[in-house]
Chain A
Amino acid sequence: MSTIDHISYVQPKSGIGAARLTGAGLLVLLGGFATIGPVVIPVDPSAQDFGASLAPVGSDYLLGTDHYGRSLLARLAHGARLSFGMAFLTTLAAAMPGVLLGLLAAWRGGWAEKGLELMATVVLALPGLMLVLLLLAFSPGDYGPLFLGLALTLWVEFYRVTKATTKTVLSQPHIEAARMLGFGSRYILTRYVLPVIGPMIATLAAFAMATAIIAVSTLSAISVGLQPPTPELGSMIVELLPYFAEAPVQVLLPAGLIFLLVLGLQLLAQGERA
């Protein structure tokens, strides 16, 4: 009796968008901290003050200092900017070719699609982090291979989703109908395809940024990514770890910042379906 079964007579609970809203709010706050923070905080994140090594929170330094006496507030702001910036750039570098090639493959099919599929298969044969690691072997600690490796692994998801969704849309009767009614490819692309893939790309982009943030911090933490003294959140945690007994808050702050960044992105991307 499925005609009726599918209709729910129970009122849906309110607050469907609450998770998304929380995610967006978190990102606005953290984004503000990352963009405005480095400008308004007058302290150099690498300025050492051995007299104030491991100063507690609320002393002369608002969020305390690390073992070299560097201001944690300044380092966190620069770290957030770095994470956000890297994540944003890699996602952009992955999404642009991914979406365009996905559209191309879905639209043209044939050899273009076969070639792109092969490229995607090659990239997906190895877990993404392994590919990044292999590229990092060329020059550990550099931005270049890190950026390249992340973009190289992340574009595939954009490509695959764009291709699959566009193909589904293009195979529907309403596209055939639109063509018969005389509408051109441009109209079909902008009115029928983009409105469908747009929200999906946005969701994927949020996920890709979360992945990039985790990857960048993880790679620094296992000392193949960005190297100290760069104020990178992952390496800050590992650097401060030996001083955990004396200054636990200083270890937890960058960890918490990564957590909130990733959480914000995931909530924004998925909402209630997380």
Chain B
Amino acid sequence: MKNFFLSRLLQASIVAVVVGAVCFALMRALPGDAAMRIAAGRYGPDARIADAAEKVRLELGLDRPIAAQFLEWIGSLLRLDLGHSLVTGRAVAHELQVQLGASVWLAATALLISLLIGPLVGLISGLKPGGAADRSGLAGAVVFRAIPPFVLGLILMLIFSRQLGWLPPAGFGSPREILLPALTLALGLAAMSSRVTRNAVAAVARAPYFAFARYKGLPEAVVVRRHGLRNAAIPVVSYLGLQAIYLVEGVVVVESLFAYPGIGHALVHAIVERDVPMVQGTALVMGLMFVAINATIDLLTFWLDPRTRRTA
């Protein structure tokens, strides 16, 4: 338990250092006046920018070792002092608050829809491996996994908003607008989790303890409830860890595609506009979101599977 916590804490600090290091390098590598840029990022537009830039230039010119500058940069990052956007001039932290909420809603909705589809399809497939349901489940999973999320999103957009006119193609504000991007992500996630569920169910059905539960004379419903569900859920839940990668990557893609004002959209925007403080802030928050999802999955696994408590 303590180990899980520590390793996730380590992961979170690695995320911060990697993001910080890349952005530190970015700040210096981009063409133009680095000092001006750093000053704008640090103090925002309210400060007398020319004076501030002069101060920064002096700092840089003082030839302080690059390591010290880097440590200072990472230090302010760890204090969650994210600076100001080079484009809008607003505090990055402030911009992130709104965007993070939108992204979390999107990710949660997508995960929820995928959990309604994936495990159900997987369960039906796994109960009779090789049967008609299993084979169509397999075909569906293969097809959906071969479609990149942005293509899937476009297809859904074309069908549901252009052809059928049911849902708005873009925007944010009502549940109707979250539905298409969430569905795009959910279908990809479900394609993966359905097969994992299917294999988990099939493995449990073959397991000696499952057969033995029947030999003990337990009614089928009790066998499934007491010895099937938990054991089948363990691999499905630990696979959510891999799905977290898909989810976070997908949020970036799908938000950009549907112009959904979340953090992934902001990240892509910031990259195109070379708004380094915003790149750093958004990447950091998305990275931490990834760590948080993983930590949640750790907790769930820990609760489900006593074998993981062995060393606790």
Contact for B267 among A13, A133, A255, A274, CB less than 8 A: A133
Determine whether B86 belongs to the interface, using a CB cutoff of 8 Å to chain A: no
Contact call B138/A274, Cβ cutoff below 8 A: yes
- The answer to whether B257 and A221 have CB atoms under 8 Å apart is yes
Residues of B within 8 A of A130 (CB): 248-249, 252, 267, 283, 286-287, 290
Report if A5-B211 is in contact (Cβ < 8 Å); known contacts: A128-B245, A130-B283: yes
8 further A-B contacts with Cβ under 8 Å, apart from A218-B149, A224-B268, A241-B154, are A126-B18, A130-B287, A133-B283, A134-B23, A137-B26, A222-B150, A262-B145, A266-B142
Contact A274 B142 (CB under 8 A): yes
Residues on A with beta carbons closer than 8 Å to the beta carbon of B148: 214, 217-218, 234, 258, 262
Say if the beta carbon of B130 comes within 8 Å of chain A: yes
Chain B residues near A251 (CB-CB < 8 A): 154
**A127/B141 in contact, CB under 8 A:** no
Tell me how far the C-beta of A16 lies from the nearest C-beta in chain B, rounded to whole angstroms. Answer: 12
The 0/1 profile, CB within 8 Å of A marked 1, for residues 18-34 of chain B is 11001101100110000
0/1 per residue, A94-128, Cβ < 8 Å to B? 00000000000000000000000000011001111
A136 CB within 8 Å of chain B:
yes
Question: A222's contact among B142, B253, B276, by CB below 8 Å, is which?
Answer: B253
CB-based A-B contact count at 8 angstroms: 127
- Determine the chain B residues whose CB is within 8 A of the CB of A267 once the complex forms: 142
Q: By the criterion CB–CB under 8 Å, are A134 and B252 in contact?
A: no
Cα A127 to Cα B272 in complex, Å, equals 20
A51 to B: closest C-beta gap in Å: 28
Asked whether A223 and B11 contact (CB < 8 A) given A13-B130, A134-B279, A262-B146, the answer is no
Interface of B is mostly: helix
Find out whether the CB atom of B150 lies under 8 angstroms from the CB atom of A134. no
B39 CB–A CB distance under 8 Å: no
- Bits for A119-151, please: 1 = Cβ < 8 Å to B, else 0: 001100111111101111110100000000000
Point out the residues of chain A lying under 8 angstroms from B276, CB to CB: 137
- Within the complex, what minimum Cβ distance (angstroms) separates B66 from chain A? 17
Contact assessment for A259 and B147 in the assembled complex, using a CB-CB cutoff below 8 Å: yes
CA distance A121 to B12 in the complex (A): 11
Residues of B211-233 at the interface with A, using a CB-CB cut-off of 8 Å, are: 211
Report yes or no: B14 in contact with A122, Cβ–Cβ below 8 A.
yes
Whether the Cβ atoms of B141 and A274 lie closer than 8 Å is: yes
The contact size tier of chain B is 35 or more
**CB within 8 Å for A129 and B162 given contacts A136-B271, A224-B268, A237-B154:** no
> Is A263 an interface residue when CB atoms closer than 8 A count as contact?
yes
Nearest opposing residue in chain B for A13, CB measure: B130
CA–CA, A258 and B206, complex, Å: 38
* A2 close to B (CB within 8 Å): yes
Q: Is there contact, CB below 8 Å, between A138 and B29?
A: yes
A222 and B154 contact, Cβ closer than 8 Å, known pairs A135-B22, A274-B138:
no
> Interface range on chain A: under 10, 10 to 19, 20 to 34, or 35 or more?
35 or more
Q: Is the CB of B149 within 8 A of A137?
A: no
B143 near A255: Cβ-Cβ < 8 Å? no
Bound CA span A87–B34, Å: 35
Q: Give the shortest distance, in Å, between A250 (CB) and chain B (any CB).
A: 13
B157 to chain A, nearest CB (A): 9
Quick one: given A129-B252, A137-B26, A221-B150, are A263 and B142 in contact (CB under 8 Å)? yes
A38 to chain B, nearest CB (A): 23
Complex CA gap A137/B29 in Å reads 10
Instruction: Kindly state whether residue A243 has any CB partner on chain B within 8 Å.
Output: no
B15 on the A face (CB < 8 A):
yes
Chain B residues near A259 (CB, 8 Å)?
A: 146-147, 151
Docked Cα-Cα span, A5 to B130, in Å, equals 18
A183 interface residue, CB < 8 Å from B?
A: no
Q: How far is the CB of B268 from chain A (nearest CB, A)?
A: 5
Nearest opposing residue in chain A for B157, CB measure: A241
Decide if B268 touches A125 in the complex (CB within 8 Å): no
Q: Chain A nearest CB: distance from B74 CB in Å?
A: 14
**Residue-wise interface mask of A (237-274) relative to B, using a CB-CB cutoff of 8 A (1 in contact, 0 not):** 10001001100000100010011101100110000001
Shortest CB–CB separation between residue B14 and chain A, in angstroms? 4
Contacts of A217 in B (CB 8 A): 148, 150
A125 x B162 contact (CB < 8 A): no
Q: Residue on B with the closest CB to A241?
A: B154
Partner of B26, one of A131, A138, A274: A138
Judge whether B249 and A127 touch: CB under 8 Å. yes
- Determine the residue in chain B with the shortest Cβ distance to A272: B138
Nearest-CB residue, chain B, relative to A2: B208
Question: Given that A135-B22, A222-B256, A224-B268 are contacting pairs, would A125 and B15 also be in contact in the complex, using a CB cutoff of 8 Å?
Answer: yes
Q: Mark B189-213, 1 if CB is under 8 A from A, else 0.
A: 0000001000000000010100100
Cβ–Cβ < 8 Å partners of B146 in chain A: 210, 259-260, 262-263, 266
Given contacts A125-B15, A129-B252, A133-B271, contact A263 B143 (CB under 8 A): yes
Chain A residue with the shortest CB-CB distance to B158: A244
Please name all residues of chain A whose beta carbon is closer than 8 Å to the beta carbon of B90 when the two chains form the complex: none
> Are A126 and B287 within 8 A (Cβ)?
yes
- Listed by A's residue number, 8 A-B pairs whose Cβ atoms lie within 8 Å are A5-B211, A127-B245, A136-B271, A138-B25, A138-B29, A218-B150, A245-B162, A263-B146
Nearest Cβ on chain B to A8's Cβ, whole angstroms: 11
B57 within 8 A of A: no
